[in-house]
Amino acid sequence: MSIIVTANQKGGVGKTAIAVNLAHGLQRELGGKMLVVDADPGASAHKHFRRRQEGDPPYVLVGGAQPDIHARLPQLMQAGGFDHCIVDCPAGASNVTRSALRIADLVIVPVQPSFCDFDAAEELMPILHDISEVRNELQVMIVISRKLPGNNAYSKEAKAAAAEFFKMEGVSTIIADQEISNRAEMVRAYSDGKTVFEYGRRRGVSCNEFTNLTEEVAACLHAVTA
Ligand SMILES: Nc1ncnc2c1ncn2[C@@H]1O[C@H](COP(=O)(O)OP(=O)(O)O)[C@@H](O)[C@H]1O
Ligand SMILES: [Mg+2]
């Protein structure tokens, strides 16, 4: 059983976009039964699928903005026969997020390639540090999200800058090699209530990015939960 949590102090950085797309990628890659818990009181993961024309979302999606999710989720997963779960947290570090972080195997922190975003996400690190003290298998993955197009220094050096910035003794942090670009395809997927994997031959760069990110996350989970 593996639990991934997406979290960041800031809104609009791509937590939900990564959660809903990565969940589909992982379901395809790992097999088994995937659960997505929408822990945002604003129901953002549910809103992602609101305009979907055909069929249900590609995995089970439930609400779960509860401050005792750490106690409930393992039971819920066991009862439903789920193998993997992604919990999509709201912005901030409310009790709901703190509770979800307590049972995470992997915490994904999407950050836009800007020090403003790094500064905001930094506030999560002491929380992750405290959790790592009792759960030293916890893995944190920083994902550069909504990367701007063009050949600018911020984009080129984002991963190296993040590696330096988020280094903290006692917290196992890696920077995802694959970055997620800011692309119209992602906006299209939201408008269609689909994931980037559902476009057949019309799938594009975002699908490739999520395919690669899926592989990295799968490898990471394998190492953490082995
Ligand atoms: N890689 C991306 N490219 C383009 N738009 C994106 C991307 N990631 C997120 N968005 C859009 O940005 C907005 C905020 O993203 P969201 O995932 O909801 O952020 P968060 O969950 O961190 O608040 C949404 O409208 C979403 O569709
Ligand atoms: Mg969100």
Q: Quick one: pLDDT at residue 5?
A: 98
Burial of 93 (0-12, 13-18, 19+ CB in 10 A): middle
The CATH number of 2-225 is 3.40.50.300
Q: Quick one: pLDDT at residue 195?
A: 98
Q: Quick one: pLDDT at residue 226?
A: 76
> What atom of ligand 1 comes closest to residue 145's alpha carbon?
1
> What atom of ligand 1 comes closest to residue 147's alpha carbon?
1
Q: Quick one: pLDDT at residue 47?
A: 98
> What atom of ligand 1 comes closest to residue 181's alpha carbon?
1
User: Which of 8, 9, 15 has most ligand 1 atoms within 8 Å of CB, for mutation?
Assistant: 15
Cα–Cα distance for residue pair 73/78, rounded to 1 Å: 8
- Compute the distance from residue 17 Cα to the ligand 1 centre, in Å: 5
User: Which of 87, 187, 188, 205 has most ligand 1 atoms within 8 Å of CB, for mutation?
Assistant: 187
Cα–Cα distance for residue pair 3/74, rounded to 1 Å: 9
Residue type for 190, please?
Y
Domain range summary for the chain, segments of one domain joined by +? 2-225
Mean pLDDT, each 10-residue run in order, the chain (226 residues): 96 97 98 98 98 96 97 98 98 96 98 90 94 96 93 84 95 97 97 97 94 98 88
